Structure 1
Amino acid sequence: MRPFGSTWIVWLAAILSVVASPLQAEGWLADRGGRLEIVPAANGDRIPDFSAAGYGAPGAALPVVAEAVRLAPQPDAGDRAAIQAAIDAVSARPLPSSGVRGAIVLAPGTYRLDGPLQISASGVVLRGSGSGDGGTVLSFEQPPGPVISIEGAGRWRATEEPRAIVDAYVPVGAEAVTLDSADGLSVGDRVIVQRPFTAAFVAEIGMDQIPPRAGRTTVQWKPGRGLLMARTIVSVTGDTIGLDAPVIDAIEAADGGTVWRYTFPGEIIGVGLENLSIDGTPAAPLAPVPFKELRDFRLAGIRLDKVSDAWVRDVRFRNLSSYVVVDALAREITIEDVHGRNDLPPWWPVPAFAFSVDGQRTLVRRCSVEADNMLVATTQSRAAGPIVFQDCEGQGPRVGAGPHQRWAAGILFDNIDVSGSIAVVDRGNMGSGQGWAGANVVVWNSAADRGFHVASPPTAYTWVIGATGEVLPDPDHPPVVLPLPPGAPRSLYDAQVSGAIP
């Protein structure tokens, strides 16, 4: 692992990359009287504002929820039933106007689980008595996982016909769109900004011509719903609506972008998990699992879906195949001070995912991994940002970071330090056709011992700003590579939350 900073070699590579690439004609960043500002390109594209990621964004502190029930380990029996019964009892309480039902507190000790735990009501927190020595340990003895699911029910439900976006071009980072009609829309309405994937777009990015892979099925991308960005209206001026988070992928008129109001009756809100550790060692195999059996053996830690304003903090994992998974219908999630260590031989032939985001407006910060073969920070198919990984560290021969598959957009890797590589590339026929893994990705002030493998997809950008390690750009799809400007903030996310970078 290397200290943060920029060697002269990386600076030279950055300068050469800027000169060589037509995309780098734009400035992107500028010093305005000692204050760093983001500069839009001629078409309006800009590095997005990532401050809308996380619980209560921007920058809200996580709450401390009062104790409702306290449990202790049962030395002569399993503990899952007792913990689940306490969760269900607190969940059944009337939900007060504060939105908080209370916390189930686990006293110090080891709790043996013979099955998963589920939280499916708003305002419920499961809290241990510490993640370190002398704290609370959940020992999971029977795969598959996840050990704990935080999940509501149903999905987004449109309450009206889609309204057409009439802007000729909605740039990356835009915080407003103009509609064919904003009649009836009000501040506070929850809307989906939809950026469809048309046949023309799929062809433009080359994802209808993914080369086949010997012995595997390669799936060409098809036209479809594309990116669904969940937003709240903050202003209505004529037919233009302001949004509480930016558009994270450009929308051209030919894309047929729309906006539609929605409800989510089954979504749960204000749920937390904190101050404990989860040990998968009793259930972990002692030898590698054949690839075809991986789907039958998953020892996952925590899964969040159909939930908003939720959090996971001060949790430690040992010997699990994944730590925290944020699924597609979760939003405004904070995961902080979460650490994992795998000290058994890895039982998977491909990188596992420590912190994996398929939802949106998620903040993962001060998290770490010690393992052999893992991605400490990654995203999945069509994840719609802003998504932030900040101050995360990965140690191990094959521990890296980067988006995993299929056009996750609007991601910030901020002060990431890995002993492997950071990759933002076209993954082509990997998997069943993962293709362009990320779009409009910022890698800020980060370090990678095995280098930065980076490319800008057609129609989108990858910005690498302040890299410690060898930058290996794709010459056919050059990224934007820049040194960290003098006086620039250590963290882009922190600067955007505080307003230091407008």
Structure 2
Amino acid sequence: MNVNLALNRPVYNSSESPNAKGGHAVDGEAGTFWQPLSLDRKENNKVWITVDLEGVVSFNQVCLKFASGFISGYNIAYSDDNLIWQEAYRKATSQGGVRNTSVAIFPRVIARYVKLEIELFDPDRDFQLIDFAIYEMPSIPLGPLLSRVYVTDASRHSFDQDDTLPLLRGGSTKLSVKGIMTDGTEADLTHADVAISSTNPNIAAMDETYTLYALNPGIAQVKCVVNLHGVSQENSFFIDVCDPAEQIADLWLTHSSLVMEIGQPALLSLGSEYPVLHVLANERMTVKASLLDDSSGEIIFELPEQGIEPQMECALTFPGYAEQPAHYQMHVELQMKGSVVYYDTFYFTVPGPEAIKEGQSQIVYLNETGKLSYVPDFKGNRVIDFSNSGYGGGGVSLPDVPTVISVEPVEGDNTDHIQRAIDTVSALLPSPDGFRGAVFLKKGVYLISGQLRICTNGVVLRGGGAGEDGTILHATGTTKRNLIEIRGTQTPELLSNTLRSITDLYVPSGSRRLHVEDASCFRPGDTVKVFRNGNERWIHAIGMDAIRQRPVAGGTIQWPPFQLEFDRVITHIEGNCITVDAPIANAIEKQWGSGAIVKYKDAGRIEQIGVEHLRVDVAFDPTITETRIDGNEGDIPYLADENHAITCVYMDHVKHAWVRNLVGFHLQHALVQVERDTKWTTIQDCAVYDFVSIITGGRRYSFHLVGELTLVQRCKSTTARHAFTVDSRVAGPNVFIDCESQQDYNTSEPHHRWSVGCLYDNVNGRIHIQDRAWLGSGHGWSGANYVTWNTTNELVSQQPPTAQNYAIGHVGNKGRALLPNPYDPRPRQEAFWESFGTHVAPRSLYLQQLQDRLGPEAVRSIRS
């Protein structure tokens, strides 16, 4: 049996906590650990612990067990005198991360002292070491050991973690496994145990000779494990198999000066030649191309229809020069014999000499008519129009619904007392405008031990004011619950027989128009879902199948393919071209899975619901506290009871609803949570203060959006973790405008897993829009096609692959993004930043978009 040479030996360390001393790391107990002090962690991002073996011994293995900590790497050194040190082993966690248990095997050394030095990339977080064990392993030979392995293809190109080997369907390549020893020499793997395989043989299969065959489009990983003389090393990389035939054709532009990058404005100088359009067909087809003025729709030039043979590249040139300032579109139609027509479009802008005035954005600016002009990228992606967000589809005043029943507080619990009034109003017939009436709660204190529920159209719950002398709902008891729940009966029912595929090769973010294979079953006024598919090749393109494992704690989940669902209404149909009421907030791309549109029935969703003019307070146990560590002030106690009401207003399966003039205290989760099947909602003039909960995941999301087309305006928050936050895979658009958060324990943000199309407009608070990597269980790229406009305080905004985020007119600090960092040094691009340090005109993007679409009266209607 191998003996732990470090067990109960004396230790020295850089610092230790009173209840987590260095000796706990060598006591052999799973329930104890060493934790250095906060000031020590922050001094130089390094901590260390040394074991005195009390005699010179030989050893070649160290086993470490971590409880927590965000580690950049660690170094193991040895010494005879505790003064002069030599390195035995170094681990950089940027390749493969670090698990809870980490085993370091190295050529045998002889020493009395062994030092473990840990590099921390996030010293604000606790670091805890459960076990530091040292062994002499006789089975490990003397001399150099296997240090790393890698794989090469037939061209001798080497692949390592995060690398990708692209293959065409039907292709193959011969792989070879190589190794490097600790002294830098090449490993002789003749007698090594080598296991190499594909994680998905249906996509990429491997035979016994290590020949890899590309069978079907998709992503697979090649994983290789080599054991040589008792030492194991691993390596993996990706295989990306594509089928060109699925792409119909490749289309691209060439021009000497036009920027052709997603998220960057495609600008062309006045008088320039037009870009050249290239088409490479994958089968025989005809091509029609036309050049249009995007503003007027006028065709500037239409090229003759042209036939193209398979694998023949065709260059199409439009005659003349861009002599007029305008936004241009280059439309392309691809027609295969007996097949549907496919569409693609390219965009560029020729600005006039006075197009952009000082103090405005160069990509969203007021033109000579006083309305906004937008400069898209070369594929048409642009800052989207957010003005459809809010009650009534935006620009509609919140109703003042007549009172039907007035209620006064009674002694004791008022839950049933109020619920009976709600149920009475719910049983009335609705008026022509869809309202049954309001339940008016007169001023006073109403004890609520249970939950109030609104499940019927046209019901309003109104109080006599949100002040201390107003209507106060006092949530009592220890039950975790939503205090007011507004919920329809079911999700929309999809009519599968109307499902039609989208035939655009690319529908840009911000577009309201799309083509389908056959639009004959649709009519203006139809409620539809527009699906945006994201296949596994897209997941790979955005790096979300290669998220680093959560440091130490583990549990990171790589993303599977998923679908965004945009809830829309058809406003116009021309041929097979459908226009919907609100923009699509994520590009729909054929190469990444394309999309579809389908009608739905909406019988189970309730509407015309309001909650207003109320004050909510929550009873809690003040004796339950926790402490948080502050680098400047030390340990700070805070109220942490969790057994009480968690959310004030929760809405699901709802449309055309509002919450206004609602003030909440001592909640656990949110003042308002808008769930996924909820749309056209306004939350205004609300505030939430003094949350009571532990400060960790799933708590303190003041205004929590999971639905779409929601407007949150003039709202305030204190002591939140995520004050103004959007959940995963939210289709958008959504808007936060003129909002403020203070005493934040974390940031307002898209929280995880690719929500799209949200606007932070004149928001004062810490906002982070970024790759959240392993946080949570693999939050990754949290938001795409987001806009921050004239924000204040702290901002992080990065560009996700295949999309963009826009940071315009921010005044305050640029925050520190999570990535890149030493644990994951792969670069992340900055978003489109413009006018950093100076606000731009107009003051509000949302209000100007609303005025452009509906006129000044729409803006006035939502200000009250």
Give the TM-score, by structure 1 length: 0.89
| Equivalent of residue 569 in structure 2, options 232, 255, 259 | 232
Q: 1:447 to 1:501 in 2, by over 3 A?
A: farther
Give the 4+ runs in structure 1 shifted more than 4 A: 293-298, 472-475, 484-487
Question: Mapping of 1:13-92 within 5 angstroms?
Answer: 23-26=263-266, 27-30=362-365, 32-33=367-368, 35=370, 36-75=372-411, 77-92=412-427
Q: Shift in Å at residue 154 of structure 1?
A: 1.0
Q: What secondary structure does 1:352 align onto? A: coil
Question: Mapping of 1:244-393 within 5 angstroms?
Answer: 244-254=581-591, 255-282=593-620, 286-288=624-626, 299-321=646-668, 322-342=670-690, 346-350=693-697, 352-371=700-719, 373-393=720-740
Give the structure with the larger strand fraction: 2
Q: What secondary structure does 1:212 align onto? A: coil
Could you tell me whether the CA contact under 8 Å between 1:357 and 1:379 is conserved in 2? Answer: yes
Q: Shift in Å at residue 396 of structure 1?
A: 0.8
Q: 1:315 to 1:412 in 2, by over 3 A?
A: same
Which residue does 1:133 correspond to in 2?
468
Q: Shift in Å at residue 370 of structure 1?
A: 2.0
The one-letter amino acid of 2:850's match is V
Which residue does 1:488 correspond to in 2?
841
Could you tell me whether the CA contact under 8 Å between 1:284 and 1:299 is conserved in 2? Answer: no
What is the CA–CA distance in structure 1 between the aligned matches of 2:840 and 2:660, rounded to whole Å?
32
The one-letter amino acid of 2:413's match is G
C-alpha distance after superposition, 1:150-195 (max 9, x if no partner)? 1101112111331000011100100111100100211100000000
Q: 1:285 to 1:194 in 2, by over 3 A?
A: farther
The one-letter amino acid of 1:73's match is P
Could you tell me whether the CA contact under 8 Å between 2:620 and 2:643 is conserved in 1? Answer: no
Which residue does 1:462 correspond to in 2?
805
Is 1:153 aligned to residue 489 of structure 2?
yes
Is 1:476 aligned to residue 824 of structure 2?
no
Q: Shift in Å at residue 286 of structure 1?
A: 3.4
Q: Shift in Å at residue 284 of structure 1?
A: 7.0
The one-letter amino acid of 2:598's match is W
What is the CA–CA distance in structure 1 between the aligned matches of 2:504 and 2:641, rounded to whole Å?
46
Q: Shift in Å at residue 275 of structure 1?
A: 0.4
Which residue does 2:448 correspond to in 1?
113
Identical counterparts, % of pairs: 34
Which residue does 2:296 correspond to in 1?
none
What is the CA–CA distance in structure 2 between the aligned matches of 1:216 and 1:381, rounded to whole Å?
21
Which residue does 1:7 correspond to in 2?
none
What is the CA–CA distance in structure 2 between the aligned matches of 1:487 and 1:364, rounded to whole Å?
21
Could you tell me whether the CA contact under 8 Å between 1:284 and 1:320 is conserved in 2? Answer: no
| Equivalent of residue 428 in structure 1, options 758, 766, 773 | 773
Which residue does 1:176 correspond to in 2?
513
Q: Shift in Å at residue 278 of structure 1?
A: 0.7
Which residue does 2:536 correspond to in 1?
199
Q: 1:127 to 1:486 in 2, by over 3 A?
A: closer
Q: What secondary structure does 1:400 align onto? A: coil
The one-letter amino acid of 1:424's match is I
Q: What secondary structure does 1:499 align onto? A: helix
Which residue does 1:3 correspond to in 2?
none
Q: 1:131 to 1:177 in 2, by over 3 A?
A: same
Q: Shift in Å at residue 136 of structure 1?
A: 0.3
Q: What secondary structure does 1:320 align onto? A: coil
Q: Shift in Å at residue 294 of structure 1?
A: 9.6
Which residue does 1:16 correspond to in 2?
none
What is the CA–CA distance in structure 1 between the aligned matches of 2:521 and 2:671, rounded to whole Å?
43
| Equivalent of residue 555 in structure 2, options 189, 193, 217 | 217
Q: Shift in Å at residue 198 of structure 1?
A: 0.8
Deviates more, 1:482-491 or 1:171-180: 482-491
Q: 1:159 to 1:424 in 2, by over 3 A?
A: same
What is the CA–CA distance in structure 1 between the aligned matches of 2:768 and 2:737, rounded to whole Å?
16
Q: What secondary structure does 1:431 align onto? A: coil
The one-letter amino acid of 1:234's match is T
C-alpha distance after superposition, 1:207-259 (max 9, x if no partner)? 111111122421111113x1100000000100111110001000012323000
Q: Shift in Å at residue 264 of structure 1?
A: 1.9
What is the CA–CA distance in structure 1 between the aligned matches of 2:619 and 2:792, rounded to whole Å?
31
The one-letter amino acid of 2:673's match is V
Could you tell me whether the CA contact under 8 Å between 1:108 and 1:130 is conserved in 2? Answer: yes
Could you tell me whether the CA contact under 8 Å between 1:169 and 1:252 is conserved in 2? Answer: yes
The one-letter amino acid of 1:334's match is T
Could you tell me whether the CA contact under 8 Å between 1:137 and 1:277 is conserved in 2? Answer: yes
Could you tell me whether the CA contact under 8 Å between 1:130 and 1:136 is conserved in 2? Answer: yes
What is the CA–CA distance in structure 2 between the aligned matches of 1:83 and 1:289, rounded to whole Å?
38
Could you tell me whether the CA contact under 8 Å between 1:268 and 1:307 is conserved in 2? Answer: yes
Could you tell me whether the CA contact under 8 Å between 2:556 and 2:777 is conserved in 1? Answer: yes
Give unpaired runs (5+ residues) of structure 1.
1-18
Q: Shift in Å at residue 94 of structure 1?
A: 2.3
Which residue does 1:438 correspond to in 2?
783
What is the CA–CA distance in structure 2 between the aligned matches of 1:479 and 1:294, rounded to whole Å?
39
| Equivalent of residue 743 in structure 2, options 388, 393, 396 | 396
What is the CA–CA distance in structure 1 between the aligned matches of 2:722 and 2:646, rounded to whole Å?
16
Q: Shift in Å at residue 266 of structure 1?
A: 1.0
Deviates more, 1:92-101 or 1:435-444: 92-101
Could you tell me whether the CA contact under 8 Å between 1:120 and 1:152 is conserved in 2? Answer: yes
Q: Shift in Å at residue 400 of structure 1?
A: 3.2
The one-letter amino acid of 2:696's match is P
Q: Shift in Å at residue 41 of structure 1?
A: 1.7
The one-letter amino acid of 1:466's match is G
Indicate the structure (1 or 2) with the bigger Cα radius of gyration.
2
What is the CA–CA distance in structure 1 between the aligned matches of 2:644 and 2:265, rounded to whole Å?
49
What is the CA–CA distance in structure 1 between the aligned matches of 2:382 and 2:623, rounded to whole Å?
47
What is the CA–CA distance in structure 1 between the aligned matches of 2:496 and 2:585, rounded to whole Å?
24
C-alpha RMSD of the superposition: 2.4
Q: 1:111 to 1:284 in 2, by over 3 A?
A: farther
Q: 1:119 to 1:134 in 2, by over 3 A?
A: same
Q: 1:84 to 1:68 in 2, by over 3 A?
A: same
The higher relative CO (CA closer than 8 Å, separation ≥ 6) is in 1
Q: 1:287 to 1:199 in 2, by over 3 A?
A: same
What is the CA–CA distance in structure 1 between the aligned matches of 2:642 and 2:596, rounded to whole Å?
36
Could you tell me whether the CA contact under 8 Å between 2:265 and 2:378 is conserved in 1? Answer: no
Could you tell me whether the CA contact under 8 Å between 2:721 and 2:744 is conserved in 1? Answer: no
The one-letter amino acid of 2:775's match is M
Which residue does 1:410 correspond to in 2?
757
Could you tell me whether the CA contact under 8 Å between 1:28 and 1:41 is conserved in 2? Answer: no
Q: Shift in Å at residue 31 of structure 1?
A: 5.2
What is the CA–CA distance in structure 2 between the aligned matches of 1:415 and 1:284, rounded to whole Å?
36
What is the CA–CA distance in structure 2 between the aligned matches of 1:81 and 1:446, rounded to whole Å?
44
Q: Shift in Å at residue 269 of structure 1?
A: 0.6
